[in-house]
Amino acid sequence: MSSRPYRQINRRKSRLIHVGSVPVGGDSPITVQTMTNTLTTDVAGTVAQIHRAEAAGVDIVRVSCPDEDSTKALADIIRQVHVPVVADIHFHYRRAIEAAQAGAACLRINPGNIGSADRVREVVQAAKDHGCSMRIGVNAGSLEKHLLEKFGEPCPEALVESALEHARILEDNDFFEFKISVKASDVFLAVAAYQGLAAACDYPLHLGITEAGGLIGGTVKSAIGIGNLLWAGIGDTIRVSLSAPVEEEVKVGYEILKSLGIRARGVRIVSCPSCARQGFDVVSTVEALEKRLAHITAPVTLSIIGCVVNGPGEARETDIGLTGGGGEAHMVYVAGTPDHKIDSPAMLDHIVELVERKAASLDAAKQKG
Ligand code: SF4
């Protein structure tokens, strides 16, 4: 029993699958995904984009394979990146087989869209031969006609039924190494569909609010939708869909996980909005710190608070804290207790150094243990 039960999330028990070397579901960490938006035939451009996502901490990357040239390029791309690659296939079963042969760790494909039972068998066989998992990706915008006729419009029940129909096809082929998503751009619809699916099966779930929007709007929408589900213990891997650079999707994904205490990566800054009481310029300090500490991957907590109203309290809960004081002398807290004072001109470099030192000690401890 946790000493802080109000923070406890009881995770849904899901089946464990693998996307290459990355476990998804079961007790494995909730992973963060993104998708490239370069032409897949532009190998150098796609690899560069994946490297940027890797630097931001991505666990799994999806790449579209709309034609044969793309599946050819896929093998080259996979050789040059470190994270498992999911091949996004829409309808064409040959692309799925080529992607599996090219080394894709997972195929995003809806078996009900491939065509004949023979084709499904061939794709499943290719996945088995090459150690590929799959993702069934149901989307409210492209629901099957018979379900739209049955339900009248995209609704949670229709999304769940579609997902289970696709799942049954794989199960009938003795294939269980898959995860499922039921995305919609409407948060109410997506959340209700995921809740329904979570209750109806034990497959791992890939969460996402599709076409969420630009950086700010999409972040808020995704945080509400994905956050709501994760809080309820639902979800094994997430992708934040933003009309923004891939690394932003990854950063937002981590911020959602960090907010819920699910995964920690990099520096988590607690800072006040600032007001007339601030002893230094909080906004520009936090902006500068976010940039200068972006390279840190160890989970360090840092509080940057403008004055003593909330500074000491927040500093108690963080590894390193800074609280604005009068007369340009600000208090630095280490491990929750007041440690020494620093003046404004030296403050920024000093905090960066303290955080880097703390991160290095965490990294060293991790290496040992
Ligand atoms: S902590 Fe101090 S500076 Fe920051 S908003 Fe509150 S009162 Fe203002």
CB atoms within 10 A of CB 84: 24
pLDDT surpasses 90 at 165? yes
pLDDT surpasses 90 at 24? yes
For ligand 1, atom 5: residue with the closest CA:
274
Task: Map out the domains of the chain with their CATH numbers.
Answer: 10-259 (3.20.20.20), 267-368 (3.30.413.10)
Distance 5 CA to ligand 1 centre (A): 29
Give the whole-angstrom CA distance, residue 166 versus residue 105.
20
Strand partners, 179: 135
Q: Say if ligand 1 is within 6 A of residue 273 CB.
A: yes
Q: Say if ligand 1 is within 6 A of residue 272 CB.
A: yes
* Cβ–Cβ under 8 Å, residues 205 and 179: yes
pLDDT surpasses 80 at 328? no
Distance 166 CA to ligand 1 centre (A): 53
**Residue 35: which region, alpha, beta or left (left: phi > 0; alpha: psi -120 to 50)?**
beta
CA nearest neighbour of 131 among 102, 159, 94, 156: 102
Residue-level pLDDT at 212: 75
Residue-level pLDDT at 326: 79
Give the whole-angstrom CA distance, residue 9 versus residue 303.
25
Residue-level pLDDT at 333: 97
pLDDT surpasses 70 at 173? yes
Residue-level pLDDT at 129: 98
pLDDT surpasses 70 at 303? yes
Give the whole-angstrom CA distance, residue 257 versus residue 299.
12
pLDDT surpasses 80 at 343? yes
* Whole-structure pTM value: 0.92
Torsion angle in degrees (nearest 10) through CA of 272, 277, 282, 283:
80
pLDDT surpasses 70 at 139? yes
Give the whole-angstrom CA distance, residue 32 versus residue 30.
7
Q: What is the mean pLDDT of residues 253-267?
A: 93
CA nearest neighbour of 113 among 103, 105, 123, 104: 123
pLDDT surpasses 80 at 369? no
Q: What is the mean pLDDT of residues 270-295?
A: 95
pLDDT classification of 273: cutoffs 50, 70, 90: very high
Q: Say if ligand 1 is within 6 A of residue 279 CB.
A: no
**Hey, which of 280, 310, 333 would you mutate to test ligand 1's pocket, going by the most ligand atoms within 8 Å of its Cβ?**
310
pLDDT surpasses 80 at 184? yes
pLDDT classification of 327: cutoffs 50, 70, 90: confident
* Cβ–Cβ under 8 Å, residues 240 and 222: yes
- CA angle at residue 138 from 136 to 62, to 5 degrees? 55
**Hey, which of 270, 271, 274, 330 would you mutate to test ligand 1's pocket, going by the most ligand atoms within 8 Å of its Cβ?**
274
pLDDT classification of 368: cutoffs 50, 70, 90: confident
Give the torsion sign (CA, 91, 97, 102, 104). positive
